[in-house]
Chain A
Amino acid sequence: MPLKVLTVDDSITIRKIVRKAFIPYNVNIIEAENGVEGLATANKEKPDLIILDITMPIMCGIEMLSKLKEEKNLKDIPIIMLTAESGRSKVTEVIRMGIRDYMVKPFKANELIARAKKLVRLANSQ
């Protein structure tokens, strides 16, 4: 069964870049545009990995992260946070909230894949 990766980002371009990065792998990509959608999708699909942006309308990534951490069956899903430089102070905040990894935009496809490989393998072995 292919792995499920959920991308939560308000920019369609970023979502496409993520999608493109995973093309060579047997991965099923699902997408959401904001925290509210992201939570709903995460609940329904139980993804193996979530790639989560911080700055989004309606519900931002930090709020979604804290909601994820409250849910028993979602809190252990590994999360890669996406941040922009201006979000530096937020990086510490999300690290303390228990994300597994983070990436600063812009990132290269192979960086994303390398980080994801590490996490998804870990998640499977647990």
Chain B
Amino acid sequence: MTDKPIDIGKKIEEIALNLITMEGEDIPIIGDMLNGLKDIASACNGFEETNFKDLVDALYFYLEKIALRETVDFQPLETGLEHLQRYYQCIGNQTDYTINLTPILKTLGAQAQGPPEQVANGQEQTDADSCQTSQEPFSSETFNSPDPNLNDEDREIINDFISESLEGLAIVEVSLIDLEQNPDDKESINAIFRCFHTIKGVSSFLEFMRINHLAHEAENLLEKIRCRDLTINEEITDIILDSMDLLKRLISRIPQAMETGACLDIGLNIAPLVKRIEQIHDQTELSQQPVGQIMLNQGSITKDDLNSALEIQKQNPQAKLGEILIEHEAASSKQVMAAIRTQKKSPARTRELQVKVDTDKLDTLVDLTGELVIAQAMLRQHPYVQSLTDQRLVHTLGQLNQITSGLQKMSMSLRMVPIKSAFQKMIRLVRDLTRHSGKNVQLLMEGEDTEIDRNVVDELYEPMVHMIRNCVDHGLESCEDRIKAGKEPTGKIGLKAYHRGGNIIVEISDDGKGLDKNNILKNAISKGLIDQDARLPDNEIYNLIFQPGFSTANQVSEISGRGVGMDVVKKGIETLRGRVDINTSPGMGSTFVIRLPLTLAIIEGMLVRTGNERYIIPALSIIESFRLTPEQYFTVEGKGELIYSRGALIPMVRLDRLFNLEPGENDISDKIAVTLEHDGKRMCLLLDELLGKEEIVIKSMGERMKDVKGIAGGAILGDGKVGLIIDMAGIWNLTMN
């Protein structure tokens, strides 16, 4: 708004003068006129004469149409301006302007709502070829395409288009992944939009109309997302991905067609995808309130008016409800326009309300909830509470119990996200690897919707990349080798996720040649990882690949040979309190099985006692536990105590001696043996009692005690005392020394 009130009369005169002196289309003058009308509109905002404002709006609307080259008929504008001038004089003279404005508003406005007409633009386009935008419906599956007889220049431009588009589509893929993780990321939406926009624009120049049509549809969809009329969801992501894929295929086949001089319209069917996009549009449009309803709400028509108008519309489905209402004088055009404006202003947002929360806060919430659960358990186990006789108090405590466990479940679920995002990043990786390695690889995914702790998903990314690289690089054979071995030429890599007993399992498998036992042994000996005459069971041999400094690749490849090996993978997974195993069979392929706790905050632990101390052993590491019999107990010189179980001798470690505690039960037969596995090696831990399996909320030991060997953390137990969580890697190191 300007500080000084503008002279409306003068402005109107200026506009009228501009209109008379304008010859043909003159964009700068149209711009001036539009600005003038906008100024008038804002100057008369406080006017009582709403008809005047409506007329100004309608004139602006019509002038816009001229600017957009939708019409070349200046007559309605001239008539409207005359009305405006006289109207303004009446306001100045404080007399009423008695002429009915409805017809002129209708001429100015009604056309504005009709479908845009394609009017050739008089003078301007006599020397410039009238540019025909493709308005014909794409009902049949034939599209215009460039003439296959191309000159060199055309070829060059088409080649540019191809590389530019493919580059753009690659960006779409990355941005889409970003967008999925962060649906409000404007920059990602814009980047995706721009890509489709460019492809649409350029393909229309080059007359690749099939590509143009698809890109155009996808762009429209993205425009809605940009304007927040639509929220990105799985369905939409899929559609964008599919559009991207189809465009990629359409575009990447052009060079071949150019070579052979065939028709450049690549005959892939885009209709099903276009239909899916249209369905999404329909869904959003349906959610708009009908004009009739809005007018009813605004009190501009009665229910009877609406019903009779709807009745007429039934007989003549082409007619618009607003038009019918005006024709039958149930409402003024002004009211209809107001209703349409309201309708456009408030598209029903299907957006779910969301609040962004700092993950730190979320972690604290999870932590506090954990404590609440513990405090609640302490309360329940308190002797005083257990001897309660007051029924009401017992009932209230039961309620508290339910609420706490509900709260805990909810707070845990806040951190859970589908593993999909990590999986989807692998699609690109595999594609890149395929290109570099020259092998044909197909990626099969299963269980993408399996939920996993947010922090775990992020941490899982790098180990997965390493393992998939290894699968492609070392696991899968080349096409020729595969054919020789009687396999399909295309190698398969499987990614699978599922829940099993409080853990999430991620399997990465390939159907390649499997791990070569002898090769691993040879390598390990030459690297000095094991002794020349070491005799190791198979699984320990396979686990050697997780040793630092181990690499079986005969030559460093572009893909895997980056100086980091599987030891990094193992370390990464162990920091997540998980474990990784290998199943492999020669000629059939290998499977890496990653077991991870569902969340980082809680583990499933076995509470054990030795002497007066209680410890927690992560349940993942426990193979079995049993009461020891003297027949199972051996001592071997140089190797210490051993336990014979399931056909193997396992080194035995006494928990009380390990941690220098008061010795517990002395009699072996009163002891419990727990077989643990770590790194494919087993150990029997000797202790006094198994107290039971529990969900344990992990607490860090704090700065000062974080370096205590063999202890991974602490937990507050049901009775309020602290139990220490045993660190598997740690006790192995302790016993080795």
Which residue numbers of A lie inside 8 Å of B, CB to CB?
10-14, 16-17, 20, 55-57, 84-86, 88, 91-92, 95-108, 110-115
Contact = CB atoms under 8 A, between A and B. Distances in A.
A101 B125 contact: no
A88 B68 contact: yes
A113 B153 CA distance: 19
B133 A10 contact: no
A114 B128 contact: yes
Contact of B67 (A11, A56, A95, A106): A95
B356 to A, nearest CB: 26
Nearest to A10: B198
B385 to A, nearest CB: 65
Contact of B35 (A88, A96, A104, A115): A96
B67 A104 contact: no
B80 to A, nearest CB: 17
A105 B201 CA distance: 6
A16 B68 CA distance: 26
Nearest to A11: B198
Given A99-B27, A108-B131, A92 B197 contact: no
Contact of B202 (A14, A55, A102, A107): A14
B694 to A, nearest CB: 54
A111 B164 contact: no
Most chain A CB inside 10 Å of its own CB: which residue of B30, B160, B201, B205: B201
Given A13-B205, A57-B194, A85-B216, 6 more contacts: A14-B201, A95-B31, A105-B204, A112-B128, A114-B127, A115-B128
Interface string B42-64: 00000000000000000000001
Interface of B: 27-28, 30-31, 34-35, 38, 64, 67-69, 125, 127-129, 131, 133, 153, 156-157, 160-161, 164, 190-191, 193-194, 197-198, 200-202, 204-206, 216, 219-220, 223
A92 B125 contact: no
A84 B197 contact: yes
Contact of B27 (A57, A102, A114): A102
23 contacts: A11-B198, A12-B160, A12-B164, A13-B164, A20-B153, A84-B197, A85-B216, A86-B216, A86-B220, A92-B67, A95-B27, A95-B34, A95-B67, A96-B35, A98-B28, A98-B31, A102-B27, A105-B204, A106-B131, A106-B204, A107-B131, A111-B125, A113-B128
A125 to B, nearest CB: 15
A85 to B, nearest CB: 7
A14 B193 CA distance: 17
Give 5 nearest A-B pairs by CB, closest first.
A111-B128, A114-B128, A106-B204, A106-B205, A95-B31
Given A17-B205, A95-B67, A110 B197 contact: no
Contacts of B219: 86
A85 B153 CA distance: 27
Nearest to B34: A96
Contacts of A85: 133, 216
A11 B189 CA distance: 18
A111 B131 contact: yes
A104 B27 contact: no
A96 B68 CA distance: 12
A96 B60 CA distance: 12
A11 B202 contact: yes
A113 B201 CA distance: 19
B204 A100 contact: no
Contacts of A111: 125, 128-129, 131
